[in-house]
Structure 1
Amino acid sequence: MAVFTAEVFQNEFLPAGGTDVHAIVTVTGSDVGSARTASGGVAEIIMIDTSGSMNGRNLDAAKHAAQVAVDQIVDGTWFAIIGGSHVAQRLFPYPNAPRDMVQMEPAARAEAKRAITTLLPSGGTAMSTWLALADRLFATVPHASQRHAILLTDGKNESEPRAALSAVVRQVTGHFQCDARGVGASWQVDELREISTALLGTVDLIASPEDIAADFQALVQQSMSKGVADAELRVWAPQGAQVLFVRQVSPTVEELTARRTEVNPLTGAYPTGSWGDESRDYHVAVRVASKPVGTEQLAARVQLAVGGQVLTSGLVKARWSDDDALTARLSPEVAHYTGQAELASVIQEGLAAKAAGDEATATVKLGRAVQLAQQTGNEEATSRLRRVVEIDDPDQGTVRLRRNTDRLDEMALDTASTKTTRVRR
């Protein structure tokens, strides 16, 4: 049976006149994998770029990776394979099959792997058609509450306007989750990030085609280990209070504020997608009316709910004090993740400025990123930043842009910008 717990980390003391309450809420799920959705309640789709640019090593490696992924899909899972160029094609089940998705079993696995070998490169790239087809296929198994897709491309979405892709992303949001991967250096990080962010997935760079299979294997294994199909974070705040923001801050930074749906006049729900045995951290900020010194108030109640049932809850408190020793104390968890969220933002802004030729802004932003990585102990980010800038003083954020940097190094920094380190407790 799945068990969820919630822990709240904050400094609940506010000075006289203080209004803003910040807390990090850690939600942990255990024995979640054992509660995996019953047979028939899980669906998986693999989308492979088959445009002309994939010809050669990329497509050969992608075929192998897709076959490896198929081997990881648990029997009983509904699945399909899509080949995508400027149009989308259902590769398996075969186009003349009576069903749009079939349940995994040995014969279906063998036929799917054979179908993958027939992929041929041609045409351009219009990822909206891939997502739209995946959405239609998932809709044919409405009883499958857990729906996950993988999307792989090697190039830009060049065969349609960006607005067309964005429109379809909005249409399919909330219907399924999608992890997006780009192989090589010719794809656009912001395009795949738009897809993965909206569809509660991840985006990452696969620098070498030979690495696709290991990545696909891990993604499908992770998907198959999920035991809760869809959960939501609920935040209650008292009458007159304002929820300033809700964001996931570990294992990655994900802004959830704009995704709020109303549960009741005082409670909003924020989607978190499917869960396995894992722990995630959320930063919740609430503005309440100031109260007299000595007053205590419940500022927020943070809950994880599945299917409308609340499984765990944590309380965010506010206490007004005139003791500077109490009110000046900064929660290490809040400080750490505030820095991590800013780190993600300044990396992306710095790289965008660099690409636009604005070296002054790029130097300032990436210098701030170096400083934040140093302060929060994010050694992985520091290592990636060193490949893009020369670091003179990490504590002050003094850097110089490297000349002739490898685009793969910049893409690796960009895609990893939202990955955070856990606070040391």
Structure 2
Amino acid sequence: MATFRAEVFQNEFLPDGGTDAHAIVTVTAEGVGGAATTAGGVAEIIMVDTSGSMTGQTLAAAKHAAQVALDHIPDGTWFAIVSGSHVAQRVFPYPNAPVAIVQMEPRARAEGKRAVERLVAQGGTAMSTWLRLADQIFATQPAATQRHAILLTDGKNESEPRTELSAAVRDVTGRFQCDARGVGSHWQVDELREVATALLGGVELIADPAGIADDFRDLLTASMARGVADAQLRVWTPQGGQVLFVRQVAPTVEDLTARRTVVTPLIGAYPTGAWADESRDYHVAVRLPSKPVGSEQLAARVQLAVADEVVASGLVKAVWSDDSSLTARISPEVAHYTGQAELADVIQEGLAAKAAGDEATATVKLGRAVQLAKETGNAEATSRLRRVVEIDDEEHGTVRLKRSASKLDEMALDTASTKTSRVRR
């Protein structure tokens, strides 16, 4: 049986005149089981780029990976395969089939593999059409409440305006989750990040096409481990209170603030997607009307709700004090994740400046990233940064841009920028 628990980490003491309460809320799920336990309620769509740039080794590797993925979709799961170029086409179930999605069983698995083998590379790239077709396919099976897609591409979204992709992302947000994967060095990280962030998935670089199969296998394994189809983080604030932001800060940084929906006038809900046995950290910041020294107040109640049932709850408190030894303390958890969120921002800003030819700004931003990576103990980020900059002084963030940095190293740093190191407790 699935169980959830919530733990709150904060310094509850505010100075005289203080208004802002910050807390890290850790939500842990155990005994969730897997997606296969909800027979008929799980659907998976694989979207493979078949534009002209995929010709050769990349398409061959993508075909193999899709076939490997089909072997990891359990019987009973609804599935479909989409070929994506400047248009999207359902290739399995076959275009002339009377249904848009079928349940996995041995014969369907074999036919799906045959359909994949027939994929050919031609045309341009318009990812909005891929997302809209996936949404239409999912909609034909309303019983499938847990919906996940994989999007694989090797190129830029060149056959349509960026606004078209953004519109499609907005339209399908909340309808399914999607992990995006880019192969090689000719795709744009910000395009796939837009897709994955809105659809509660991840974006990764696959530098070598030979790695697609292992990545697909891992994605399907993770997807099928999620036994809870959807959950909401709910934040109650008192009358007069204001939620400044809600961010997931581990295992990745995802700003959920703009995704708020109203439950009651005092309660907002933020999407978290499907859950497996795992732990996630959320940074919740609330602004309150200041109160006299000695006053205490409940600043927020943070809950996880599954199917409208609250399954875990934690309290964020505020106590006004004139004791500076209490109010000056910064919660180690809050400090750690504040640094991690800034780290993600400055990496992306630094790489964008470098791409625009603004080396001065790039040096400052990436130097700050080196400094933050050291302060927060993010060794992986430091390792990736070393491939893009020469580090003279980690503590002070003194760096020089590497003239020999490869495009793949910069993309690897960019795609991994939102991954965080967990706080040590």
Q: TM-score, normalised by structure 1?
A: 0.99
Which whole-Å CA distance do the structure 2 matches of 1:334 and 1:100 have between them? 47
Alpha-carbon distance in 2 for matches of 1:214, 1:225? 17
Counterpart position of 2:334 = 334
Q: What is the match of residue 363 of structure 1?
A: 363
Letter in 1 for 2:351: L
1:416 deviation in Å? 0.1
Q: Distance in 1 between matches of 2:124 and 2:171?
A: 22
1:37, CA displacement in angstroms?
5.3
Rounded Cα–Cα distance in structure 1 between residues aligned with 2:312 and 2:287 = 23
Tell whether the 8 Å contact from 1:2 to 1:34 is kept in structure 2 after alignment: no
Aligned to 1:33, what secondary structure does the other structure show? coil
1:422 aligns with 2:407: no
Q: Please show how residues 180-199 of structure 1 align to structure 2 within 5 Å.
A: 180-199=180-199
Counterpart for residue 55 of structure 2: 55
1:385 partnered with 2:382? no
In the TM superposition, residue 379 of structure 1 has moved relative to its aligned partner by: 0.4
CA contact (8 A) 2:152 2:183 kept: yes
- The root-mean-square deviation of aligned C-alpha atoms, in Å, is 0.8
User: Partner residue of 2:406?
Assistant: 406
Quote the Cα distance in structure 2 between the aligned partners of 1:27 and 1:349: 30
Cα distance between partner residues in 2 of 1:290 and 1:87: 56
**CA distance in 1 between partners of 2:34 and 2:89 (Å):** 35
Alignment deviations for residues 333-377 of structure 1 (CA, whole Å, 9 cap, x no partner): 000000000000000000000000000000000000000000000
Q: Distance in 2 between matches of 1:139 and 1:281?
A: 32
Where does residue 294 of structure 2 map in the other structure?
A: 294
Counterpart amino acid of 1:169?
V
Q: CA deviation at 1:321?
A: 1.1
Please say if residues 86 and 123 of structure 1, whose CA atoms lie closer than 8 Å, have aligned partners that are also in contact. Answer: yes
Tell me which amino acid in the other structure corresponds to 1:131.
Answer: L
Q: Which residue of 2 aligns with 1:6?
A: 6
Native 8 Å contact 1:128 1:164 kept in 2: yes
- How far the C-alpha of 1:404 sits from its partner, in A, is 3.0
Change (3 A) 1:36 1:241: farther
Deviates more, 1:228-237 or 1:319-328: 319-328
The alignment covers a number of residue pairs equal to 425
One-letter amino acid matched to 1:383? S
Structure 1 residue ranges without an equivalent (≥5): none
Cα deviation, residue 323, structure 1: 1.2
Structure 1 pair 35/161, CA: closer, same or farther in 2 (3 Å)? closer
Counterpart of 1:246? 246
Q: In structure 1, what is the equivalent of residue 24 of structure 2? A: 24
Is the CA contact (8 Å cut-off) linking 1:231 and 1:306 kept in structure 2?
yes
Unaligned runs of 5+ in 2: none
Identity across the alignment (%): 77
Q: Deviations over 1:288-312 (max 9, x none)?
A: 1111111111000000001111001
Distance 1:223 1:35 in 2: 7
- Residues 269-325 of structure 1 deviation map (CA, whole Å, 9 limit, x = unaligned): 000000000000000000111111111110000000011110010000001111111
Give how far 1:390 is off.
Answer: 0.5
Cα drift, residue 66 of structure 1: 0.3
Aligned 8 A contact 2:180 2:192 in 1: yes
- 1:40 maps to what in 2? 40
TM superposition shift of 1:405: 1.4
2:375 aligned partner, one-letter code:
Q
Pairwise CA distance, 1:264: 0.3
